Amino acid sequence: MDNRQNPEEKILEAARLVFHQKGFNGARMQEIADLAGMNKALLHYYFRNKESLFEKVFNETFAQMASKMSEIFLSEMTLMSKIQIFINFYLNFISRHSFVVQFIINALHDKPEQLREIILKQNLVPELMLEQIRKQLREEMGLDIDPLHIYVNILGLTVFPVVAKPLIQSLFRITDERMDVFFEQRKKIVPTFIENALKGYEKDKSLL
């Protein structure tokens, strides 16, 4: 671990790695200390206890993902471009931080409160993103659909395969290399899939 950083930063970096992979219950303070190249006691000196260290990591991680997402979906682009960019960003990001999403989902499942506060603290308003999507669906594609469904669809198509990667691999005996190819393909396949789906609504509005 990088010696130039101050201890706080070294601990946080180690904590990120361990918590992301093992979650709160699975993580060991000892492992974090080892990874940070220092003693357990120091973790308590800098961050009172395991819980508050976890909270720091969680808030930081979640805020980062949320703000990036917000940034993309509130920018000035066509909806389809945004989807394209989101999937690309996300699949690249995830290949380096493979456990964050599952980490977030699990952490949330344990204590569903907060989280909205984390977002608001960053001056992000989730509803704005939805309204922006609604507006673009209407103006760019002439569709009057609940944007939440579309948003969830985008996430599902992007996020699920990443989270379920071990399941998919084990089930169909797919090598790591073929899995990389698979995710590379999805960068093109998913946007097309979504675009097709939305264009289908345009053709036959009775489906809405």
Residue recorded with tokens 């989730």 = 126
Nearest CB to its own copies, comparing residues 2 and 176? 176
Burial of 10 (0-12, 13-18, 19+ CB in 10 A): buried
Q: In the bound complex, what is the minimum distance in angstroms from residue 159's beta carbon to its own copies? A: 6
The residue count for binding its own copies (CB under 8 A) is: 58
Dist. CA 207–CA 186, nearest whole Å: 26
Report the nearest approach of its own copies to the CB of residue 117 (Å).
10
Asked if 70 and 124 touch (Cβ cutoff 8 Å), the reply is yes
Lay out the site mask for DNA across 20-49 (x = CB under 7 A, - = otherwise): -------xxxx-------xxxxx-xx--xx
128 interacts with, out of DNA, its own copies, none, CB within 5 to 8 A per kind: none
Query: Who contacts 134 (Cβ-Cβ below 8 Å, separation ≥6)?
Result: 145, 147
Interface mask (CB under 7 A) for DNA, residues 91-130, using x and -? ----------------------------------------
Q: Min. distance of Cβ 47 from its own copies in angstroms? A: 21
* H-state helical runs in the chain: 7-26, 29-36, 40-46, 50-74, 79-96, 100-110, 116-121, 126-141, 147-163, 165-172, 176-203
| CA separation for the pair 67, 123 (Å, rounded) | 9
Q: Which is nearer to its own copies, 65 or 85 (CB)?
A: 65
What residue 93 binds from its own copies, DNA, none (CB within 5 to 8 A, per partner kind)? none
32 binds its own copies (CB under 8 A): no
Under the criterion CB under 7 A, does residue 192 sit at the interface with DNA?
no
The single residue among 9, 13, 50, 118 that binds DNA, judged by CB under 7 A, is 50
Task: Tell me which of its own copies, DNA, none is bound by residue 181, counting a contact when its beta carbon lies within the kind-specific cut-off of 5 to 8 angstroms.
Answer: none
Say which residues have a Cβ less than 8 Å from residue 115's Cβ, sequence separation at least 6.
62, 108
